[in-house]
Amino acid sequence: MKKIFLVLLFAVVGLCVRAAENQTESTSENTQTPAVMTQEERHKIFKERNKEIRKLVKKYRKASAEEKPKIKERLAEIVSQTTDESVAWSKARIAAEKENLAQWEQKLQEQEENLSEVKARRVDEILSGEAERRHKLAKKRWKKELKDRKKRMK
């Protein structure tokens, strides 16, 4: 039972910290505040929280009956904080995606208004080789982004 609790606890904390990292990334584009952290800083905070959780769990197991409520309260504070950050990140992400959706809808509406023009331009791009060139460039960028993400994950 304790092992399951620990696994779930670490999973929740990990997801919450990851969510907080992503929230910071999405909000850093809109605001320039001291709260903006690099990915390395966020990763450091994540490691520190996990380390503290592990220490508290070990302490809890060895603690007397009088000390256990204090330790449990501190652990609950950490979990609460990460959960709150996760919820805040989710709300911010939803807002960002709604904005992104609005931009896509506007772009689609513009394309529908000039549909014959868009089709003609597309045929010209295919015949001139421009479409294939763009595709190759996009594929190259995608591979580079994938490689960069893999490096960051290490």
Structure tokens at 106: 């506007």
Let me know: does 32 contact 60? Beta carbons within 8 Å.
no
pLDDT digits 0-9 by tens, 85-95? 778 878 988 99
Angle between helices 2-28 and 68-113 (to 10 degrees): 40
Q: Give the domain ranges of the chain.
A: 2-103, 114-154
Q: What is the pLDDT, as a whole number, of residue 2?
A: 56
* pLDDT tens sequence for the chain (154 residues): 555 555 555 555 555 556 555 554 444 443 333 345 676 877 788 888 889 989 999 999 999 999 999 999 999 999 898 888 778 878 988 999 999 999 999 999 988 998 999 899 999 999 999 999 999 999 999 999 999 988 888 7
Percent of the chain with pLDDT over 90: 45
Q: What is the pLDDT, as a whole number, of residue 102?
A: 94
DSSP 55-102: HHHHHHHHS-TTTHHHHHHHHHHHHHHHHHHHHHHHHHHHHHHHHHHH
Classified as helix, coil or strand, 18 is helix
Name the average pLDDT for the chain.
Answer: 80
